Amino acid sequence: MTDPVRIYHNSRCSKSRATLALLEERRIAPEVVNYLENPPSAAELANLLGLLGMTPRQLLRTGEAEYADLGLADPSIDDAAIIAAMAAHPKLIERPIVVANGKAALGRPPEAVLAIL
């Protein structure tokens, strides 16, 4: 039995909506995680980063107010602190993230997730 496809989704984000629509067009009914209401823990984020092959800084939304408020542009801030900031302030997490078949992909552009399906 394969694990269900999961999407970390923000319905207010056009890329997230487009990625979800792309999955549904392919008759995939993913588990939808509204990560702003149910943010991933620091451990879950670390796991997602490993699946994505990304560093915490690469997954940060630098245009969010929290990025500046928390001083996250400071290069001396370590990965653990960045992950903790994303767990505490989920708006900082780039989206959407799709997990399928033991892999993850960032839906930017939405078609990028097709590689893991």
pTM: 0.94
d(C-alpha 20, C-alpha 11), whole Å: 9
25 is catalytic: no
- pLDDT (tens digit, 9 = 90+) per residue, 57-103? 999 999 999 999 999 999 999 999 999 999 999 999 999 999 999 99
Task: Quote the crossing angle between the two packed helices 42-52 and 79-88, to the nearest 10°.
Answer: 120
DSSP bridge pairs for 57? none
Q: List the CATH number of the domain containing 46.
A: 3.40.30.10
The alpha carbon torsion through 43, 80, 68, 59 (nearest 10 deg) reads -60
Asked whether residue 28 is domain-assigned, the answer is yes
Residue 62 domain-assigned (yes or no): yes
Catalytic pick among 2, 6, 8, 13: 13
Query: How many domains, in total, are found in the chain?
Result: 1
In a domain? residue 35: yes
Query: Does residue 40 fall inside a structural domain?
Result: yes
Segments forming the whole domain that contains residue 64: 6-116
Distance of CA 2 to the CA centre of its chain: 21
